[in-house]
Chains A and B, each alone.
Chain A
Amino acid sequence: GQQVMQIPQYQHVQEGEDFTTYCNSSTTLSNIQWYKQRPGGHPVFLIQLVKSGEVKKQKRLTFQFGEAKKNSSLHITATQTTDVGTYFCAGGSSNTGKLIFGQGTTLQVKP
């Protein structure tokens, strides 16, 4: 079945360093969504990408959707301690309409 792979699983950075997490799907996606889950909390929607090659920015966060609509990335510039948490990508299946979550990347930021 459809799989969404996300790497790395963990990332420790010094505050101020950049951070990137990558997401790859085994099949073409209808859309990709990104969520952030703080420790002990629930996932919170960040953004959705729908178009091939789409790039969206939210302050220090940059989200990209690949040309083939099979991969995506989230890049955080100059990380802050408030960025700590687990970032999940979730791919929308063109066939089923379901969202398939990646394994998540847990970001730790050292002050």
Chain B
Amino acid sequence: GAVVSQHPSWVICKSGTSVKIECRSLDFQATTMFWYRQFPKQSLMLMATSNEGSKATYEQGVEKDKFLINHASLTLSTLTVTSAHPEDSSFYICSARDPAGAVAPLHFGNGTRLTVT
């Protein structure tokens, strides 16, 4: 089955620093990847759609300068949380569809738990 690998699994950083999270599709190509954020005991909120070779599409209310997304290849998307603050602490999960298509199921990475101190 389709496997999405996310790294790191957890990270602790100091306020004001930047953190990069990687999302890889291991056995399929993903022209589109999705980045979600999940607060404790809450649902998954779509942050942005990452598009290979072009700009990401951000959801309303998500600061594109704060959450930088790069999708440079068909198997890798990265999310960089810039100038992180404690309120950015959350569980970030990426996903991709295999096969590609609007109704195909999402395959999620294991997620990255970010703690900003």
Seen from chain A, the residues whose Cβ lies within 8 Å of a Cβ on chain B are 30-31, 33, 35, 41-45, 48, 50, 88, 90, 92, 97-104, 106
Report chain A residues within 8 Å CB of B43.
88, 101-104
Starting from the known contacts A42-B109, A101-B44, 10 additional A-B residue pairs (CB-CB under 8 Å) come to: A42-B108, A43-B93, A43-B106, A50-B103, A88-B43, A92-B103, A97-B102, A99-B106, A102-B43, A103-B43
Interchain Cβ contacts under 8 Å between A and B, 27 examples: A30-B102, A30-B103, A31-B103, A33-B106, A35-B106, A42-B108, A42-B110, A42-B111, A43-B93, A43-B106, A43-B108, A44-B108, A45-B105, A45-B106, A45-B107, A48-B105, A88-B43, A88-B44, A92-B103, A99-B106, A101-B44, A101-B45, A101-B46, A102-B43, A103-B42, A104-B42, A106-B41
* B111 cross-chain contacts in A, Cβ below 8 A: 41-42
Closest 8 CB pairs of A and B: A97-B102, A45-B105, A42-B108, A103-B43, A101-B44, A31-B103, A101-B43, A42-B111
Give the size range of B's interface with the partner.
10 to 19
Contact code string B86-117 (vs A, CB < 8 Å = 1, else 0): 00000001000000001101111111000000
Interface positions of B from 65 to 101, Cβ below 8 Å from A? 93
Q: Are A33 and B44 neighbours in the complex by a CB distance under 8 Å?
A: no
Inter-chain CA distance A35–B36, complex, in Å, is 14
Which B positions have Cβ atoms within 8 angstroms of A?
A: 41-46, 49, 93, 102-103, 105-111
A98 to B36, CA, bound (A): 12
Q: Which residues of B contact A45 (CB under 8 A)?
A: 105-107
Smallest distance from the beta carbon of B99 to chain A beta carbons, Å? 12
